[in-house]
Amino acid sequence: MSKLIKEDIDKFFIGQFDAFEKSLNGESKKPLHAKRKKAIDNFKELGFPHAKHEEYKYSNIAKIFGKLFNVENLSDDSFSLSLDEASRYFIPELDAIRLVFVNGVLDNKLSDMDTLPKGVHIQAIKTAADDYAEDFEKHFNTHEIEGADNFSELNTAFTNGGVFVKIDANAAVEKPIACYYFNDAKNADVISQPRNLVIAEKNSQVSLIESYVTLGENTSFTNAVTEIVVEGDCIFNYYKYQNESNQAIQVGATMVHQLGKSVFNGVTLSLNGAMLRNNLNIAIHKEHSETNMYGLYLLDGKTHVDNHTVVDHKVPNCESNEMYKGILDGQSRGVFNGKIFVRQDAQKTNAFQSNRNVVLSDDAEVDTKPQLEIWADDVQCSHGATVGQLDADQLFYLRARGIDKKTAKSMLLNAFASDVLSNIKIEAFRTLIENKINERL
- For 32-64, write each residue's pLDDT tens digit: 899 999 999 999 998 998 878 889 999 999 999
Q: What is the pLDDT of residue 77?
A: 63
Is residue 381 predicted with pLDDT exceeding 50?
Answer: yes
How much is the average pLDDT of 363-375? 94
Q: In this structure, what is the dihedral angle of CA atoms 119, 123, 129, 135, given to the nearest 10 degrees?
A: 20
pLDDT range class, residue 74, cuts 50, 70, 90: confident
Query: Which residues fall within 8 angstroms of residue 125, CB to CB, at 6 or more apart?
Result: 106, 159, 160, 161, 162, 163, 164, 195, 196, 197
pLDDT range class, residue 6, cuts 50, 70, 90: confident
How much is the average pLDDT of 280-294? 98
Distances in whole angstroms, Cα of residue 432 to Cα of each of 273, 405, 424: 18, 25, 11
Is residue 76 predicted with pLDDT exceeding 70?
Answer: no
Q: What is the pLDDT of residue 3?
A: 66
Is residue 90 predicted with pLDDT exceeding 50?
Answer: yes
Q: Are 140 and 227 in contact (CB under 8 A)?
A: yes
How much is the average pLDDT of 167-180? 97
How much is the average pLDDT of 372-382? 93
Is residue 303 predicted with pLDDT exceeding 90?
Answer: yes
pLDDT range class, residue 284, cuts 50, 70, 90: very high
Q: What is the pLDDT of residue 351?
A: 96
How much is the average pLDDT of 299-320? 97
Give the phi and the psi of residue 60 in degrees, each rounded to 5. Answer: -85, 85
At 44, is the secondary structure helix, strand, or coil? Answer: helix
- For 206-242, write each residue's pLDDT tens digit: 999 999 999 999 999 999 999 999 999 999 999 999 9
Q: What is the pLDDT of residue 54?
A: 87
- For 349-358, write each residue's pLDDT tens digit: 999 999 999 9
How much is the average pLDDT of 144-167? 94
Distances in whole angstroms, Cα of residue 32 to Cα of each of 26, 98, 133, 242: 12, 26, 9, 30
* DSSP labels, 309-329: EEEEE-SSS-EEEEEEEEEE-
* 106-107-111 Cα angle (round to 5): 105
How much is the average pLDDT of 152-175? 96
Is residue 1 predicted with pLDDT exceeding 50?
Answer: no
Distance CA 259, CA 281 (A): 14
pLDDT range class, residue 175, cuts 50, 70, 90: very high
Selected residue with higher pLDDT from 401 and 78: 401
Mean pLDDT of the chain: 93
What are the residues facing 293 on neighbouring strands? 266, 322
Query: Which residues fall within 8 angstroms of residue 243, CB to CB, at 6 or more apart?
Result: 211, 212, 213, 271, 272, 436
**pTM check: above 0.85:** yes
